[in-house]
Amino acid sequence: MSFDVLTSGVGNAFSQRHWGTHFLVRQGDFVLGIDCPDSYRRALGEHGFQHDGGTLDVDDLDGLVITHLHGDHVNGLEMTLAYRRYVTDETLDLYTTREVADVLWDRRLEVSLGQTWNGEEYRSLGPGDYYDLHEFVWGVEEAIGPFNMTTRRTTHHIPTAALRIETDSTTLGYSCDTAFDPDLIEWLEDCDLILHETSPGPAHTDLHKLADLPASIRDKMRIVHLPDDAWELEDEVGLTFAREGEIYEVE
Ligand SMILES: [Zn+2]
């Protein structure tokens, strides 16, 4: 069954023109976010994705996947959780790897979200006040609403998950942040649509490596995590860059 990919950010960590790479998958009423950069609500609002009779917002999320803890993928989490707690009064289903789960609260969120003032006294808060955590097991399929998701560890500075997001007949592949890795390409090869990253440096993928792939793979690839100076190369390398604000149908 087909589903939508709402492409909300296609930039890399240092982009001045684009949001950090993140997207949402939607089937019917079910919305699953994949990563959330700085000013996440503003990014969603800017694109004006329509959902349930209004503009898609963080209260429409049925779950959120965190691929890794670099800020361009996760800096929006703190305010997303605070908004859900203090404005819409609902916890969020969070999906991530064990490596992220092990440190997410203690080393990332507790310092800012772990205490609240109710006008009379300070109160300590814990992760359960904000989210329900679901840990992926590497390589094992996990059901999330209408989707089945499988993770594969990439070659990156810190533990990072590539994703296969599937319904019964349709699959989206996401490389996430990674050095160029032929085994990862093979893992993604049979997907109907592939989002693949690029950026400079040893822990990312050189655009020209992707340009050398067979047309059968390149044709279903949309490039994300783009540095600003890559855009002038799009025609030269023969790859298609993903566009912010686009909704791709995976079918
Ligand atoms: Zn990264």
Sequence-separated contacts (24+) of 82-85 with Cβ below 8 Å: 82/113, 82/130, 83/41, 83/58, 83/59, 84/58, 84/59, 84/130, 85/129, 85/130
Residue 240 CA to ligand 1 centre (angstroms): 21
Give the per-residue pLDDT at 102.
98
Residue 153 CA to ligand 1 centre (angstroms): 12
Give the per-residue pLDDT at 93.
98
Residue 21 CA to ligand 1 centre (angstroms): 10
Q: Between the CA of residue 168 and those of 1, 4, 147, what are the distances in Å?
A: 6, 14, 8
Give the per-residue pLDDT at 23.
98
Give the per-residue pLDDT at 1.
83
**pLDDT tens across 160-219, in order?**
999 999 999 899 999 999 999 999 999 999 999 999 999 999 999 999 999 999 999 999
Residue 72 CA to ligand 1 centre (angstroms): 7
Give the per-residue pLDDT at 158.
98
Report yes or no: 63 and 33 within 8 Å, Cβ to Cβ: yes
200 burial type by CB count under 10 A (0-12 exposed, 13-18 middle, 19+ buried): middle
Residues of the chain with pLDDT under 70: none
Residue 169 CA to ligand 1 centre (angstroms): 30
In this structure, the number of other CB atoms found within 10 A of the CB of residue 130 comes to 23
pTM summary value: 0.97
Report yes or no: 176 and 161 within 8 Å, Cβ to Cβ: yes
Residue 196 CA to ligand 1 centre (angstroms): 13
- Residues 58 and 80: their CA atoms lie apart, in Å, by 7
- Residues 100 and 108: their CA atoms lie apart, in Å, by 10
Token digits for 120? 């009379």
Residue 67 CA to ligand 1 centre (angstroms): 9
Q: Which domains does the chain have, with CATH numbers?
A: 3-250 (3.60.15.10)
Residue 1 CA to ligand 1 centre (angstroms): 31
User: What DSSP string describes 183-225?
Assistant: HHHHHHTT-SEEEEE--SSTTS--HHHHHTS-HHHHTTEEEES
- Residues 110 and 127: their CA atoms lie apart, in Å, by 8
Using alpha carbons, select from 201, 242, 238, 211 the residue that is nearest to residue 225. 242
- Residues 165 and 148: their CA atoms lie apart, in Å, by 6
161 burial type by CB count under 10 A (0-12 exposed, 13-18 middle, 19+ buried): buried
Specify the pairing of strand 122-124 against strand 115-117. Answer: antiparallel
